[in-house]
Amino acid sequence: DAGVIQSPRHEVTEMGQEVTLRCKPISGHDYLFWYRQTMMRGLELLIYFNNNVPIDDSGMPEDRFSAKMPNASFSTLKIQPSEPRDSAVYFCASSLRGSNQPQHFGDGTRLSIL
């Protein structure tokens, strides 16, 4: 079975540009998570969805970040405008029935903002 699929794998762009990260969760999973990983802060939960509805976005750093899940098989994380401090690896994960079940991670998007 296909796992969680993220695209692009790498993104390099100049500050001020809009960045869109994409995620396809595992079919049938009802929870989707977006994380950011840096050396300084470790793995941080940005937002999670249940049945395509955002449940907790308290980890989203600021208004420049937004996330959507228009259907059960697709989600996006958008940064506009991007800043150098947004450079990190962004992971998407999905699970069945919430965090009391294993989360399945994609291989991440390595984002570099110049």
Partner 1 sequence: GENVEQHPSTLSVQEGDSAVIKCTYSDSASNYFPWYKQELGKGSQLIIDIRSNVGEKKDQRIAVTLNKTAKHFSLHITETQPEDSAVYFCAAPPQSNAGKSTFGDGTTLTVKP
Give min distance, CB of 6 to partner 1, in A.
Answer: 8
Binds partner 1 by CB under 8 A, chosen from 21, 29, 108, 113: 108
| Total chain residues near partner 1 (CB under 8 A) | 23
26, two tokens: 């595992």
Give min distance, CB of 56 to partner 1, in A.
Answer: 6
| CB 60 within 8 Å of CB 67 | yes
29-48 binders of partner 1 (CB under 8 A): 31, 33, 42-43, 45, 48
How many C-beta atoms surround the C-beta of residue 33 within 10 A? Answer: 24
CA distance 108 to 98: 20
- Bridge-based pairing of strands 53-56 and 31-38 is unpaired
Give the binding site for partner 1 (CB under 8 A).
4, 31, 33, 42-43, 45, 48, 50, 55-56, 91, 93, 98-108
